[in-house]
Structure 1
């Protein structure tokens, strides 16, 4: 399939890939099925040892909007995303992790909202599945608008739900894989005075994996603290906001239960 959308309408979708043969086909197919069709998908494999690359090659043979790059050596998710952003041709950037999926209208609803509200940073709500693709009960609702001050107390922006103008990444990059690198970026962007706008529908299908960063709760608490220290908040302030996050996360996951 071939098209040449205008740069300002083109959404460049960023997908890092690492040993994700079990999930990546579903992730890519959720992009192909989008009702909004002006997109390119940039997949960068970061040294997979399974058949991830082979699966992507099969899919891109049927859709020339899919582009595959391979890192010469493992660089980590931050460097991989930064490389993909540098290769992006569109004015819009969307992120989709290789184990997550989108509902069919995800991009269309965000682009429509952006045009109507002159928004440049958007995110959505989420539903949840486990590693076998079974849904959890409950969804994650998001507010209509988030500022820097609000986001410090609870990260309501899921990376795989984000649609954002590429211009924000001119001076701000993703860094340090030992923390929540995406959260640090959202805070730094919002600190410039812009707002992020939520589309309160579960347009992201988020996979809860035992091996993900968020799968280990003690680890994720430590990584949250590191985010606040990284953006320049003092140790006491970082501890305070970390506690706010713990309370917010407990409230969030209390509503999410596995459906037997």
Structure 2
């Protein structure tokens, strides 16, 4: 019996993919399969995976005919999976050796539909790592419901990366199939967040283990860091639909929470649109974002203040020389 199907969507990941697959093959006390979905890479990613698959029957390569984005790749892997649990693994991340066994044991103990763990956040530039949730934040495994998940996606200045949307849960395959839940293939940013919301809305029992067993590489060029206004607008529209449902149901506490979360998304949306249009030398379009709503000037200012230390560090490293020329 295959206990876990590890799904690895990969696009131009030749630098990382071998080590990522190795972290999955080295899992202890777990019968697994590893499905790498190559999203039409233009580098050697597919060739590396094919070589590994020839030597390890647990590894298989699914090559997509065209680039569809991470949601398409993940759905392809899920449909091909045969394991009891779907284990999500990004192509530049890695598992600690006992991760799957530990989480499956917790899932069985709690009869959970989803189980996740704390993360090691690994800085690509320095190699430094720190747990997303600091030691002592979770003294024991806890259950997450939808309001808790939304609340833990509202970042704060002192902990910008303490965000449950980064979590990489194991999800029971039969739960996904029974509820017809798949990744929204129109979403190319925060696609995991959108899926987790759908699972929780369908009644998933989700448990979180306090020990960090997943190594999450923090890269300056990842989709999480370079989202577009279009990406953010898709997320805004999804959350507005959820807010409308909460209001219709009379759930005022959850509606207030969603409004707080939407404000953080709007802050990023207006700031991104404003700065992108300034860089494109389109001042009229930039002003359109700045004055799009009564709140947008304040939101742009708040996000600008939040981004200022990053901007200054980049400028000091010479990151803006080309733009200034």
Question: How high is the TM-score relative to the length of structure 2?
Answer: 0.66
Q: Secondary structure at the match of 2:79?
A: helix
Q: What is the CA RMSD across the aligned residues, in angstroms?
A: 2.7
TM-score by length of 1: 0.82
Matches within 5 A, 1:105-116: 105-116=98-109
Shift of 1:190: 0.8
Distance 2:131 2:107 in 1: 27
Aligned pair partner of 2:174 in 167, 170, 195 = 167
Say if 2:4 and 2:32, in contact at 8 Å, map to a contact too: yes
Which segment is superposed worse, 185-194 or 133-142?
Answer: 133-142
Which has the higher relative contact order, 1 or 2, with Cα contacts under 8 A spaced 6 or more apart? 1
What is the aligned partner in structure 2 of residue 187 from structure 1? 197
Alignment coverage as a number of residue pairs? 239
Q: Residue 214 of structure 1 aligns with which residue?
A: 224
CA contact (8 A) 1:180 1:223 kept: no
Q: Secondary structure at the match of 2:202?
A: coil
1:124 corresponding residue in structure 2: 117
Cα pair distance change 1:54/1:178, threshold 3 Å: closer
Inter-partner Cα distance in structure 2 for 1:16 and 1:55: 14
- Once residues 243 and 68 of structure 1 are traced to their aligned partners in structure 2, the CA distance between those partners, rounded to angstroms, is 41
Q: What is the Cα deviation at residue 244 of structure 1?
A: 6.3
Say if 1:49 and 1:75 are closer, same or farther in 2 by CA, change over 3 A. same
Where structure 2 has 5 or more consecutive residues not aligned to the other structure, the ranges are 154-162, 248-254, 268-305, 307-325
TM-aligned CA distance change 1:97 to 1:157, over 3 Å: same
Residue segments in structure 1 that go unaligned for 5+ positions in a row: 1-5, 251-260
Task: Give the C-alpha shift of residue 178 in structure 1.
Answer: 3.8
Corresponding position: 1:71 with 2:51:
no
- Partners of 2:166 and 2:36 in 1: CA distance: 16
For the pair shown, which has the larger CA radius of gyration, 1 or 2? 2
Note the alpha carbon deviations across 1:19-57, whole angstroms, 9 max, x for none: 011111111110011113300001010110111111112
Of 22, 25, 37, the residue aligned with 2:30 is: 37
